[in-house]
Amino acid sequence: MSPWPATPRGRRRRRARRPALRSRRSGPDGDPSTHGETAAFRAAGRQPTYRGTTMTTTLSPCWYCSGLILQFGISRLVVGEARTFEGRHEWLAGHGVEVVVLDDPECAELMTAFIKEHPGIWNEDIGESS
């Protein structure tokens, strides 16, 4: 088990009319490139097409994960909260991704607590580490 706690990021990606797929928290393998979005994407396996799929995240995806969404043509992004990290919603929407921000207080509380407890991991995760 990794000594590093994981950022509680995105959780699942699913294709319409298929069961939701869940990933574990991001980074349990100690790999800083493993975010919830990438873990969920990998867990879902290859799809004949990514059109019609939805990525659901706790908070806004970072640039890296936003690129993943565009690269594979994921159609819809559902974001739990965008208070702790704004993300690039307009950029995604400008490329045809439907973006829904739920502004869920529970997601915001989860992320606020995580950031307070693990500021170094948070900064690394959002590309702010120096």
**Least separation, in Å, of the C-beta of 52 and Zn ion?**
22
* 88 binds Zn ion per the rule CB under 5 A: no
Q: Tokens standing for 32?
A: 């800083």
* DSSP string for 44-98: H---S--TTEEEEEEE---HHHHHHHHHHT--EEEEEE-SS--TTHHHHHHTT-E
- Tell me the catalytic residues: 37
> Applying CB under 5 A, what is the total number of residues that bind Zn ion?
4
**Least separation, in Å, of the C-beta of 120 and Zn ion?**
16
Residue nearer to Zn ion on the CB measure, 50 or 69: 69
Contact pattern for Zn ion over residues 26 through 65, marking x by CB under 5 A: ---------x--------------------------x-xx
User: Do 98 and 76 meet the contact criterion of CB atoms below 8 Å apart?
Assistant: yes
Helix (H, G, I), strand (E, B) or coil at 43: helix
> Distance between CA 54 and CA 15 in Å, rounded?
6
**Least separation, in Å, of the C-beta of 17 and Zn ion?**
27
Residue ranges binding Zn ion (CB under 5 A): 35, 62, 64-65
